[in-house]
Amino acid sequence: MAPGRLSFSNITALAPMVRVGTLPMRLLALDYGAEVVYCEELIDIKMVQCQRVVNDVLQTVDFVAPDDRVMFRTCDREKDSVVFQMGTADPDRALAVAQLVEKDVAAIDVNMGCPKEYSTKGGMGAALLSEPDKIESILRKLVTGVSVPVTCKIRILPSLEETVSLVQRIEKTGVAAVAVHGRFKEERPRHPVHCDYIEAVAQAVSVPIIANGGSLDLVKTNSDIEEFRKATGASSVMLGRAAMWNASVFRNQGPLPVERVMEEYLKYAIRYDNHAFNTKYCLCQMLRDKVESPLGKQVQAAQTNAEISNAYGLQQFYQQTQEQLQARRDALQSSSQPERPVTDGDVTAMAVKFERREYPPHITPKMFLLEWSRKKKLEQPLYETVQRSQDRAFQSTVVVAEKKYRSSLWEKSKKFAEQAAAIVCLRVLGIPEGRIGEEDSGLVCKRKREGKVNGAADEERSKKRHVAKTGREAETSTAAAAANGDQREADAPR
Ligand SMILES: Cc1cc2nc3c(=O)[nH]c(=O)nc-3n(C[C@H](O)[C@H](O)[C@H](O)COP(=O)(O)O)c2cc1C
């Protein structure tokens, strides 16, 4: 084995699990002692369209779909332990995906065990089990085409002989390991696992076999992992549900209370800006029969990671993390953006941030821009805001007298992004913006400056005109999330 290559001998692994095996869960499993962590299965057709994006704010590498969804997020910490699992039925596409991610992962795995219709009808998952020629061509193509180890995960075939002969054929392709889920493809997760099949395979080949399927009745604690390994004669063990319910099953010092595990999971979800729907899903799996408890109900009702943090009393951690991420975003932006106006297409842009403390309590640049537009008998300023997927930061463009202005710096909230756009417009046009210490321009009357009349309401009215636009954006991102959820929703344990 080449030095530095991930070994699959004598390891304990987090199983690939759709929706569960995203970055926070993988990091948690590593913290608790898993040596190898599989990501959720990602379908080749979707992955092949992704772009690799280095996310300097989160310090991650993201694979982003054309609709801006982050399909796969990884980071340095797991680089030597993460296995990228794909769903595929096409050797060329499989290779294209493997080559896209190979620099950022420790190994590539092909899912040959998923019995769900959406997988099998595309010839993927368990459908491959009856197509050994295709299995061979996919695996050979991957083994020769990428520099990292290649593995696959199968279910057992109707007889011992067929199962053994398939794995012997797979071994010849040069894979680094085979994970064997000891159930037939028709069997459900509640059926007992067939350790004898795994054992027969382990005896017949020299490639490391990873035993899987023991969560329900065999592996309850860390010491049971060794028992499962012995019962199957396998080199290694892979845990799915036992880890999903309480990832501290990997700790050889003993398990932790699930409350503590949920808290540590949530901290990773916040730190890595995990999608709130995904965070909720994983926490609900950990809550199990407590999902209808007051805490469970609060988690289910939450729509954002901030709301989930409130449910767990982690508001302060959430706030501090947001501040740290914003500070990193600011530092990155200020080192790369010019402070003088530049033309970007039909937009005039400047690197400007809205600092609340630079303005009196009742004054904002938007207010000044609104008053100025009124005095000039112009249309009210029109704000359009976009949110980017990699860190959910906002950028606004304001249209004033048919010209567009925006800050090139991204802000943590829509409100701040609009204020930054207003500042750019005011500075480019040489209009006072209401900062503390600025000479009184008389643009906003004294009563408004002191907050005695409804300057804020004026702004609110101006905002309402644009609600339709920004509302549409919000809907788009919710729809994208729901689409993500939909695909995942279909996924009961496999
Ligand atoms: C929520 C969930 C999602 C799953 N998603 C995948 C997947 O993406 N790829 C895969 O090969 N198996 C998937 N499985 C199957 C598991 O990897 C594993 O084979 C199965 O749960 C049996 O192992 P266990 O008894 O340790 O849970 C999933 C299982 C669960 C519970």
Supply the CATH number for residue 139's domain: 3.20.20.70
> Which atom, in ligand 1's list, is nearest to the CA of 125?
11
Residue 87 Cα to ligand 1 midpoint, Å, equals 13
Task: pLDDT band for 53, please (50, 70, 90 cuts).
Answer: very high
Q: How far is CA 306 from the centre of its chain?
A: 16
Within a domain: 490: no
**CA terminus-to-terminus distance, the chain:** 32
Same domain? 378 vs 355: yes
Distance separating alpha carbons of residues 214 and 237, to the nearest angstrom = 9
CA–CA dist 247, 255 (Å, integer):
8
> Could you tell me which residues come within 8 angstroms of residue 116 by beta carbon, excluding any fewer than 6 positions away?
125, 490, 491, 494
Which residue's C-alpha comes closest to atom 31 of ligand 1? Answer: 493
Q: Going by CA atoms, what residue is nearest to atom 1 of ligand 1?
A: 493
What pLDDT digit, counting tens, does each position of 201-249 carry? 999 999 999 999 999 888 888 889 999 999 999 999 999 999 999 999 9
| CA of residue 339 to ligand 1 center, whole Å | 51
Q: pLDDT by residue (tens digit) across 166-188?
A: 999 999 999 999 999 999 999 99
Please check whether residue 15 is in contact with residue 62, taking contact to mean a CB–CB distance below 8 angstroms. Answer: no
Identify whether 203 is part of a domain: yes
Which of 39, 42, 219, 241 has the most ligand 1 atoms within 8 A of CB, as the residue to mutate?
A: 241
Last residue of a domain, one of 254, 272, 305: 254
Dihedral angle, C-alpha 423, 428, 433, 436, nearest 10 °: 90
Residue 494 in domain: no
pLDDT in tens, 105-117: 999 999 999 898 8
Atom of ligand 1 nearest to the CA of 193: 25
User: Under 8 Å CB-to-CB from 323, ≥6 apart: which residues?
Assistant: none
Q: Which residues, 6+ apart, have CB-to-CB distance to 34 below 8 Å?
A: 12, 13, 14, 81, 239, 243, 247, 250
Domain final position from 254, 282, 304: 254
Instruction: State what percent of residues in the chain have pLDDT above 70.
Output: 88
Query: What is the rounded distance in angstroms from the CA atom of residue 473 to the CA atom of residue 476?
Result: 5
- Name which residue sits closest to atom 15 of ligand 1, judged by CA: 494
* Residues acting as catalytic residues: 114
Domain boundary among 227, 254, 281: 254
Query: Which protein residues are within 6 Å of ligand 1, measured from CB?
Result: 15-18, 20, 40-41, 85, 111, 113-114, 153, 181, 189, 212-216, 239-242, 244, 491, 493-494
CA–centroid distance, residue 20 to ligand 1 (Å): 9
| Average of per-residue pLDDT across 23-41 | 98
Segment 413-442 mean pLDDT: 90
**Range in 311-325, 408-422, 471-485 the model is least confident about:** 471-485
Nearest CA to ligand 1 atom 10: 16
Ligand 1 atom nearest the C-alpha of 215 is 25
Please state, in angstroms and rounded to a whole number, the distance separating the CA atoms of residues 479 and 123: 28
Q: What is the DSSP letter of 363?
A: -
Find the domain containing 68 and state its range: 12-254
Residue that has been written with the tokens 């289910």 in this structure: 300
Which CATH number goes with the domain that contains 458? 3.30.160.20
Q: Which of 158, 151, 197 is nearest to 15 (CA)?
A: 151
Write down the residue that tokens 């209009």 correspond to. 431
Do 270 and 386 fall into the same domain?
A: no
* 5 in any annotated domain: no
Nearest CA to ligand 1 atom 23: 213
388 and 243 housed in the same domain: no
* 229 Cα distance to chain centroid: 32
Residues 114, 202, single domain; the answer is yes
Domain assignment present for 73: yes
| DSSP element (H, E) containing 40 | none
Per the domain annotation, does 122 fall within a domain?
yes
- Cα gap 320→339, rounded to integer Å: 28
Same domain, yes or no, for 320 and 344?
A: no
Q: Are residues 273 and 385 in the same domain?
A: no
For residues 188 and 276, state if they share a domain. Answer: no
Q: Do 420 and 432 share a domain, yes or no?
A: yes
Nearest-atom index, ligand 1, CA of 20: 1
Domain count, the chain: 3
45-75 b/e (C-beta count within 10 Å ≥ 16 → b): ebbbebeeeebebbebbbbbbeeebbbbbbb
Q: From the CA of 111, give the closest atom in ligand 1.
A: 11
Q: Looking at residue 221, what is its pLDDT?
A: 84
**Rounded CA gap, 226 and 397, in Å?**
59
CA dihedral sign of residues 336, 339, 343, 346: positive
Distance 491 CA to ligand 1 centre (A): 10
Quote the pLDDT of residue 447. Answer: 62
Inside any domain, residue 32: yes
pTM summary value: 0.78
Residue 152: pLDDT over 90 = yes
**Which residue's CA is the nearest one to ligand 1's atom 4?**
17
Residue 150 forms part of a structural domain: yes
Q: Which atom of ligand 1 is nearest to the CA of 214?
A: 25
Q: Do 176 and 158 share a domain, yes or no?
A: yes
184 and 248: one domain? Answer: yes
**Is 421 found in the same domain as 342?**
yes
| Cβ(217)–Cβ(8) below 8 Å | no
Q: Which residues contact residue 79 at a Cβ distance below 8 angstroms, ignoring those fewer than 6 apart?
A: 104, 105, 106
pLDDT band at 452; cut points 50, 70, 90: low
Q: Which residues contact 430 (CB under 8 A, 6 or more apart)?
A: none
State the chain's mean pLDDT as an integer: 89
Cα-to-centroid distance, 16 and ligand 1 (Å): 6
Token pair of 195, please? 């350790």
Distance of CA 414 to the CA centre of its chain: 22
Kind of pairing between the strands at 42-43 and 82-87: parallel
pLDDT band at 361 (very low <50, low <70, confident <90, very high): confident
Q: Are residues 145 and 201 in the same domain?
A: yes
Question: Cα(278) to centroid of ligand 1, in Å?
Answer: 16
Q: What angle do CA 406, 407, 409 make, to 5 degrees?
A: 145
Residue nearest to ligand 1 atom 30, measured at CA = 493
Q: What is the pLDDT of residues 366-392, one digit of tens each?
A: 999 999 999 999 999 999 999 987 778
Q: How far is the CA of 376 from the centre of ligand 1 (A)?
A: 64
The two structure tokens encoding residue 355:
């600092």
